[in-house]
């Protein structure tokens, strides 16, 4: 696999999506979590765009930007705005967790790396808004 512009873009977007996801879990304030969620969704939308699914990418942003704003408002209105950080758990639990995650990562890597999906040339990426429309409103 050579280093192409597409790969660089994918790595960047994937990093944004994953870091957003990790921050969503680790941050403690609701509003911070919502902002992390925004980055996850935008990263995923960017990956859709790379896969030439422009309609899905745009709809993802269109729907979620509104939805996230609402989530944020509910987060502000329905939670207490006071800091009470739970003390972080330490000890052997973390190590076993790390081992489990590493094992899972290795298993997934081995499973995916040599997976050979036969690629058929399709025209799905051309004018996919039109194709989705025809599929939805004529064939269903």
Contact flag: residue 19 with other proteins (CB under 8 A): no
Site for other proteins in 75-104 (CB under 8 A): 76
Q: Say if CB 68 and CB 34 are below 8 A apart.
A: yes
Looking at the Cβ atoms of 6 and 116, the one nearer to other proteins is: 6
Q: How far is CA 90 from CA 78, 95, 103, in A?
A: 30, 9, 20
Contact flag: residue 28 with other proteins (CB under 8 A): no
Contact flag: residue 7 with other proteins (CB under 8 A): no
Quote the CA–CA distance of 61 and 54 in Å, as a whole number: 11
Contact flag: residue 59 with other proteins (CB under 8 A): yes
Q: Find the part of the chain contacting other proteins (CB under 8 A) among 10-18, 71-79, 98-106, 109-117.
A: 71-79
Residue closest to 47 by CA, chosen among 35, 61, 33: 61
End-to-end CA separation in angstroms for the chain: 40
Looking at the Cβ atoms of 62 and 102, the one nearer to other proteins is: 62
- φ/ψ of 27, rounded to 5, equals -70, 160
Residues that bind other proteins (CB under 8 A): 4-6, 29, 31-32, 35, 38, 42, 54-55, 58-59, 61-62, 65-66, 68-70, 72-73, 76, 127-129
């Amino acid at each position: 696999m050579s280093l192409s512009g597409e790969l660089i873009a994918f790595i960047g977007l994937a990093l944004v999506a994953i870091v957003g996801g990790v921050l969503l879990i680790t941050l403690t304030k609701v509003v911070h979590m919502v902002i992390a969620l925004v980055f996850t969704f935008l990263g995923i939308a960017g990956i859709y765009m790379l896969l030439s699914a422009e309609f899905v990418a745009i709809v993802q942003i269109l729907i979620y930007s509104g939805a996230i704003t609402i989530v944020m408002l509910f987060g502000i209105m329905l939670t207490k705005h006071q800091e009470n950080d739970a003390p972080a758990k330490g000890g052997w639990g973390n190590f076993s967790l790390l081992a489990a995650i590493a094992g899972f990562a290795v298993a997934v890597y081995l499973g995916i790396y040599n997976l050979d999906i036969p690629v058929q040339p399709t025209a799905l990426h051309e004018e996919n808004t039109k194709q989705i429309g025809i599929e939805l409103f004529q064939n269903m």
